[in-house]
Structure 1
Amino acid sequence: MTRRKKTRSLADKVTIRTGKRKDYRRWRHDHPDEVAPSRRFVDKKTQQRKLQAERKRQRQSAPPLPLHSSGVDGDASNKEGSD
C-alpha cells in the first residue's frame, strides 16, 4: 500500500469556508458582472492615463536630436579606416 503525500495546506480540503480570500476570489471569477472597481481606483487610473498621454505628447513634440546627422559619409569613412 502506497503512502499519501503530505500537504502543507489544508485550504483545499476544507469544505465549509466563509469570509476567506480564496472564496471571494472564486466568487468574483464566477460573477464578473457583479464586480466593479471602486470609484477611487477608476479616478486614479484615469489620472495616470492622462499623465502618460501628456508625457508621450511632450516626447513626440520635442525636436529630434542630431545623433546621426553625418549620415552615410561617416559610415563610409569608418569602413575605409578599419581595413
Structure 2
Amino acid sequence: MTRRKKTRSLADKVSIRTGRRKDYKQWRHANPDQTGPSKRFAAKKQKQRQQQAQKRLQRQQSAPNIAIHPSDNGGEKH
C-alpha cells in the first residue's frame, strides 16, 4: 500500500478529476465554495494580521518623538 504525498494543491483533492485541466476548471466553476482557503486557515491568518497590527501600533506609540523640522529657528540659513 502506498501513501499519498501531502500536497496543498486543490487539484489532487478533486475526486472527479480525469487528469485534464479543463475538467478541473469545470469542477472549480461548479463548486466555488470548495476552492478557497479553509475556514480554519483564513481565521488563523486574520488573527495573525490583527496581532501584527497591535504590535506595530505598540511600537509606534513607544517610539521616541523626533523633531524632524524644528520650528525654533526663525528662517532658513544657508
* Structure with the greater alpha carbon radius of gyration: 1
Answer 1 or 2: which has greater helix percent. Answer: 1
| Larger RCO, structure (CA 8 Å, separation 6 or more) | 2
Alignment TM-score, normalising by the size of structure 1: 0.46
